[in-house]
Structure formats: C-alpha cells, structure tokens
Amino acid sequence: MGLKQLALVGLLPFSLAAPFLPRTTPAPATTWNAGATPEFPIHSSCNSTEVIQLRKHLHDMATVANHAIDHILRYGNESTIFTKWFGSAPTAEPIGWYERLVRADRTGFQFRCDDPDHYCGPPGETGYWRGVEVAPEDVNICPLAYTLVPLEALCSRGYTLANWEITSVMVTDLMHRLLHVPSVAELVVEHYANGYTASIELAETNPEETVMNSDSLQYFALEAYAWDIAAPGVGCVGDEDAARAKYEASLASVASTAGPTATATVAATIVSATTTSAPASCHTHADGVVHCE
Ligand SMILES: *[C@@H]1O[C@H](CO)[C@@H](O)[C@H](O)[C@H]1NC(C)=O
Ligand SMILES: *[C@@H]1O[C@H](CO)[C@@H](O)[C@H](O)[C@H]1NC(C)=O
C-alpha cells in the first residue's frame, strides 16, 4: 500500500461522520408530464359566479364518479346496483370511463358560456357539446344549468331516479356532456339506450353495450351515490312501474301514429345519434324526451 492509499484510509472515518453531505448534484426533476392540464379549463366567457359554481359542480362530479369506482371495486358484480345497470358486463370498463371523467388530461378542452351555437334559449338547454365537426373539445354551459338539482339536494325536492330525467341533476348533466368529448370518452361512449327503463332493459338484453352507454354510466353512478351516501340504505329510486308504463305508452303512441315500423325507427334513431353528429343536435326520443348532445 502506497502513501496515497494510506492517506485515503486515514480520511475514511471523517467522511463517514458526515453522511448527509451530498456527494453528487441531485437528478433534475422529472418532466414526464410537462404540459399536462389536470383541471378542466374554463373559457373567459364564463363570468365569476359561473366559474365558482361550475368548479363546485365539477368537484361534485368527481366525488360521484370516484364513489362509483369505489362501489364497483368493493362489490363488483355482487352489487345489485351494478347488475341493474351493467348486467353481466365485466367491471373494468365502467371503472375506466369514471377514471377518465375524474383524471384524464384536459389539454385542448374548454367549458364556455357564450352560447356560440345558440341552443341556450329561452326556453333552451342546460348546456351542449358542440360536436365532433365544429369543436369536439368544447362544452357550452347555459345559465339554465345552475337551476338543476345540486348534489347536496339529491333525493330531496321530490327527485327520483325513475321519474325525473337523469340530466335534471347537475352532476349527471355534466357527466353527459363530458361523455361526448373525445378527451374523456374517446368517441366510444354513445347513446345506445336513453332513460331509466330503456337503460335497465339494455342491461338485460345487451350488457356489453351498457358499459359504453352514456345513460347507464350516469344512472349507475347516481344510484350508487344515492343509496350509499345521500340517503344510505334507502336511495331514491321512485316509482319504477310508473316509469315503465310511461315508457311503454310512448313506444305504443309512436307505433300507432307512425305505423308498425316506427318503434324500430325510433330505436335506430337513438342508436344513430352518435358522437359524430355535428353540430350539437337535438332529437326526440321514444318517450318524448328531447335530447341534445
Ligand atoms: C360476476 O363476475 C364473475 C367473474 O369475476 C363471473 O364469473 C360471473 O359470471 C359474474 N356474474 C354475473 C351475475 O355477471
Ligand atoms: C353571470 O352570468 C349569469 C348568467 O349565467 C348572471 O345571472 C349573473 O348575474 C352573472 N354574474 C356576474 C357576477 O356578472
């Protein structure tokens, strides 16, 4: 051992005594998600009170979507709420859409409030997606939206899942708009069945479509939240027989006024009301409900 090595050995106890001194410069912060947009951008056409309310309702939507994920992860298809809306479908696909509602990147997306396509009325809509050909990442929220049932009032004011429109609740109205936007729904989620009774029927006849059906995703999330959180163990389903009677009467009236093939035509119209139709369009369903993209 030469003199140099002896000198190094002599230094060793000193360097051990100072273990917290950095020996190299730290690695630079990771930039894997540079340019990410984690929050929904809100356009300057929304005024201060609209922004405050919209942010609150988006937070509520994330709460409901996160609860849908939690409920599915806890109970899977042993949940009767799950099988009611998704039948025998696997659980992973709805979890994926709820995840995208909560956590997908929002780059390119915007909420706006200036009603560029003039659907806000009066009487008008609560909001609309501008369509894949006009502005696929634009959702306009109309003043009427702020009159919808807020999440904290779910299962009050007479609201029931079966007898009120799913979009009469702000959280599910927002989900509906966002399930049209490619950055959330990848042009996969569509309208395969609309309304309470038709969506339940879809779970029995075509479960594989329920996990891509906008209304099924909204109904499951809202019912799981209503039953587990808003009115625990009670929920607010309402009168399912009345809902079915209304649905069947509307199908029958369409059939009698427009001929025997009308029911099938209406069903086909609902299915073809896809995310590719643009600009934001409104159409009437078999149960007489006007639906705007
Ligand atoms: C529930 O999921 C399991 C697989 O995890 C499957 O074997 C079973 O058939 C499903 N049950 C229903 C009612 O869909
Ligand atoms: C914002 O717009 C709404 C209409 O959606 C209006 O009622 C309200 O007064 C406006 N708020 C402010 C602070 O200008």
What confidence tier does 66 reach under pLDDT thresholds 50, 70, 90?
very high
**How many A from CA of 91 to the centre of ligand 1?**
9
**158 Cα–ligand 1 center, Å:** 35
CATH architecture of 40-292: 3-Layer(aba) Sandwich (3.40)
Which ligand has an atom closest to residue 92 CA?
1
- Distance in angstroms (rounded) separating the CA atoms of residues 83 and 91: 10
Largest CA distance in the chain: 107
Residue 280: how many CA atoms within 13 Å on its side-chain side? 26
Residue closest via CA to ligand 2's atom 1 equals: 47
For 91-140, what is each residue's pLDDT tens digit?
Answer: 999 999 999 999 999 999 999 999 999 999 999 999 999 999 999 999 99
Over the stretch 166-181, which tens digit does the pLDDT of each residue have? Answer: 999 999 999 999 999 9
Question: Cα–Cα distances in Å, from 162 out to 13, 113, 196, 235, 245?
Answer: 76, 30, 6, 11, 11
- 102 by Cβ neighbours in 10 Å (0-12 / 13-18 / 19+) ranks as middle
Summarised one tens digit per residue, pLDDT across range 180-200 is 999 999 999 999 999 999 999
Domain extents in the chain: 40-292
Mutation to probe ligand 2, out of 42, 43, 47 (largest number of atoms < 8 A from CB): 47
For residue 26, with 0-12 CB atoms within 10 Å meaning exposed, 13-18 middle and 19 or more buried, which class applies?
A: exposed
Residues with CB under 6 Å of ligand 1 are 77, 83, 88
Cα 224-230-234 angle, rounded to 5 deg: 75
Phi, psi of 287 (to 5 degrees): -90, 10
Instruction: Summarize pLDDT for 12-65 with one digit per residue, the tens.
Output: 444 444 455 556 777 767 789 999 999 999 999 999 999 999 999 999 999 999
Closest protein CA for atom 5 of ligand 2? 143
- Give 88 Cα–ligand 1 centroid separation in angstroms: 6
Instruction: Give yes or no for residue 237 having a pLDDT over 80.
Output: yes
- Between CA 50 and CA 140 the distance in angstroms is 12
When mean pLDDT is compared across 183-192, 222-231, 238-247, 262-271, the lowest value belongs to 262-271
Atom of ligand 2 nearest to the CA of 113: 5
Residue nearest to atom 13 of ligand 1 (CA): 88
